[in-house]
């Protein structure tokens, strides 16, 4: 942590000897990260964010490809949408957006993961729910609130909204609103 305040004033050349060690520590931190633990995830994100300025784009692309992509793909592929587990659903989305906001994961990658996993599951979830509770107004109101909460988090991220707008609209159409 002693080097963080110096990141803005030191050049990349001045840190060359230290960078390899720091890169390895970053990689090791990601390898041992428990993605399902909120506090640990926030700590990792906060520790990584100051380094986003120092390391080049290729470094972060490599980290994304080797570590973050498999982790997020696993997390979203294992996600089971359930009304009663709203916090878990929102946690996955918020984690990915936190990584994006700190410039660790590009917006296009977030949109790709949402399209590949989340929206497919959400559309199927809405269809199944609507078939099961077609005439139950109270149950359908629960679903609408649940979906709106999840969708509003995603809509608030302007940097990826355009890429996923079509999927969001399809979900709203399925809700018959």
SS3 (DSSP) at 170: helix
Q: How many CA atoms lie within 13 A of 92 on its CB side?
A: 22
User: How buried is residue 130: exposed, middle or buried, by Cβ count under 10 Å (0-12/13-18/19+)?
Assistant: middle
What is the pLDDT at residue 127? 92
* Helix pair angle (86-101, 38-48), 10° resolution: 10
Distances (CA, A) of 16 to 8, 13, 26: 15, 5, 15
Residue 86 pLDDT > 70, yes or no? no
Cα 40 from chain centre: 15
- Give per-residue pLDDT as tens, 117-140: 999 999 999 999 888 988 888 988
Residues whose CB is less than 8 angstroms from the CB of residue 176 and which lie 6 or more positions away in sequence, other chains included: 130
pLDDT of amino acid 5: 60
Neighbouring C-beta atoms of residue 52, cutoff 10 Å = 14
Return the pLDDT at 1: 43
């Amino acid at each position: 942590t002693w080097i963080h305040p110096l990141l803005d004033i030191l050049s990349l050349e001045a840190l060359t000897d230290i960078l390899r060690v720091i890169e390895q520590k970053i990689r090791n931190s990601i390898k041992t990260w428990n993605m399902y633990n909120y506090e640990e995830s926030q700590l990792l994100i906060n520790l990584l964010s100051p380094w986003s300025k120092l390391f080049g784009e290729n470094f972060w692309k490599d980290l994304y490809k080797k570590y973050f992509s498999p982790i997020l793909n696993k997390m979203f592929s294992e996600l089971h949408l359930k009304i009663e587990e709203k916090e878990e659903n929102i946690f996955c989305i918020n984690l990915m957006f936190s990584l994006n906001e700190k410039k660790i994961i590009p917006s296009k990658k977030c949109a790709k993961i949402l399209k590949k996993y989340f929206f497919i599951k959400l559309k199927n979830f809405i269809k199944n729910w609507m078939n099961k509770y077609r005439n139950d107004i109270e149950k359908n109101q629960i679903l609408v609130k649940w979906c709106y909460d999840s969708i509003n988090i995603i809509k608030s991220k302007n940097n990826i909204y355009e890429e996923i707008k079509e999927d969001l609209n399809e979900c709203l159409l399925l809700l018959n609103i």
